[in-house]
């Protein structure tokens, strides 16, 4: 069975003609400000791929507003439009963080009077102390290392129009930041980014997928993702050389070949296993799949039929 049977495959050339605009509403400086380590992206990508995507998201936002209005007519009362929640998933090192920040920035431009917030599911990882206590430190990033009840509660409260505080994860210390929280104050649009966004965790009453109005999966061949992972690891080492509080600083004291061997083993034993077993199987739950080739170039878009 074709794994993409429920998707229309659209070439970049076709996709870019679905929504035309003369100038991308970003500068190279702004693009540099949201680009993750080693993630290649250009103003041409914004114009060809992301502006049509944002136009599609506008349609989903309008549909959500229309449904709330119609429901209000049916119930004979005012029904407030809930936040549009967008999930963005994909492998470690595939570039989903850059995609999330770019979508946030473009939606802020498209909806100047609305608030657009971004959270990452890294904030719902258990702290390193808890992971060690539960003998899960080697399983960090796997489904059991996340406090999914807390994520479900957060999504429910956001949909319900409540103000929430959530933990912040730091890649520098490789742990949850103590005594720091991110406040999410009743946004109009919320973007949730992370490797586990489309995984079907549930409690007795709710599924995570119940809360997403639109979802994006950033995809690429596994050999390319591994290459990007190793390049990013190398960049993190360079950044950590003079910062002894950085998690990666410990590796800067070791021979480079030995460190990169550790990185390759981490990819093979952790990230590749997680990709095969838990992340990639959720790909077809997305509304849209952005497929990347060399240099993070998006060549194909898969849009779910129904």
Please indicate, yes or no, if residue 235 is contained in any of the structural domains: yes
Question: Would residue 280 count as lying in a domain?
Answer: yes
In a domain, 63, yes or no: yes
Cβ-based neighbours of 268, under 8 Å, separated by 6 or more: none
Report the binding-site residues for ATP.
Answer: 90-97
Indicate if the pLDDT at residue 259 is higher than 70: yes
Give tens-digit pLDDT for 136-181.
Answer: 999 999 999 999 999 999 999 999 999 999 999 999 999 999 989 9
pLDDT at 23 over 60: no
Structural domain total, the chain: 1
Looking at residue 237, its pLDDT comes to 93
Asked if pLDDT for residue 203 goes beyond 70, the answer is no
pLDDT tens readout for residues 210-250: 899 999 999 999 999 999 999 999 999 999 998 999 999 99
Tokens of 86: 């967008």
In a domain? residue 279: yes
CATH number, domain with residue 273? 3.40.50.300
Confidence of residue 28 (pLDDT cuts 50, 70, 90): confident
User: pLDDT tens, 233-242?
Assistant: 999 999 999 8
Task: Please indicate, yes or no, if residue 1 is contained in any of the structural domains.
Answer: no
Which residue numbers belong to the known binding site?
90-97
Mean pLDDT throughout 76-96? 96
Structure tokens, 208: 């995570």
Residue with tokens 């849209």: 288
Q: What is the pLDDT of residues 172-188, one digit of tens each?
A: 999 999 989 999 999 99
- Predicted confidence at residue 24, as pLDDT, reads 60
Dist CA 249 CA 17 (whole Å): 46
Tell me whether residue 100 is in a domain. yes
69 inside domain: yes
Instruction: Give the residue from 212, 216, 273, 13 showing the smallest Cα distance to 98.
Output: 216
Mean pLDDT of 260-280: 96
Per-residue tokens: 90: 């994909």
In a domain, 2, yes or no: no
pTM, full prediction: 0.95
Q: Roughly how many angstroms between the first and final C-alpha of the chain, as a whole number?
A: 17
Domain of residue 256, residue span = 7-304
The pLDDT score that the predictor gives to residue 208 is 81
């Amino acid at each position: 069975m074709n794994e993409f049977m429920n998707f229309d495959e659209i070439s970049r050339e076709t996709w870019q003609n679905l929504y035309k605009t003369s100038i991308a509403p970003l500068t190279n400086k702004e693009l540099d400000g949201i680009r993750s380590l080693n993630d290649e992206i250009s103003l041409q990508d914004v114009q060809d791929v992301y502006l049509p995507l944002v136009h599609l998201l506008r349609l989903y936002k309008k549909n959500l507003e229309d449904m709330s209005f119609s429901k209000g007519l049916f119930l004979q009362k005012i029904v407030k439009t809930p936040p549009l929640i967008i999930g963005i998933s994909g492998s470690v090192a595939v570039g989903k963080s850059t995609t999330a920040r770019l979508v946030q920035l473009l939606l802020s431009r498209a909806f100047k009077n609305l608030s657009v917030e971004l959270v990452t599911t890294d904030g719902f990882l258990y702290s390193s102390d808890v992971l060690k206590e539960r003998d899960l430190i080697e399983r960090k990033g796997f489904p059991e290392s996340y406090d999914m009840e807390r994520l479900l509660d957060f999504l429910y409260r956001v949909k319900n129009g409540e103000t929430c505080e959530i933990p912040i994860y730091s890649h520098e210390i490789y742990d949850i930041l103590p005594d720091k929280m991110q406040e999410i104050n009743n946004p109009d649009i919320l973007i949730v980014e992370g490797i586990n966004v489309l995984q079907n965790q549930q409690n007795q009453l709710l599924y995570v997928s119940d809360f997403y109005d639109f979802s994006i999966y950033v995809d690429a061949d596994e050999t390319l993702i591994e290459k990007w992972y190793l390049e990013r690891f190398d960049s993190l080492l360079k950044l950590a050389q003079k910062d002894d509080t950085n998690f990666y600083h410990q590796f800067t004291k070791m021979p480079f070949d030995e460190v990169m061997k550790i990185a390759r083993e981490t990819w093979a034993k952790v990230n590749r296993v997680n990709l095969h077993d838990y992340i990639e199987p959720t790909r077809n739950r997305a509304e849209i799949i952005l497929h990347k080739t060399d240099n993070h170039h998006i060549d194909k878009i898969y849009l779910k039929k129904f």
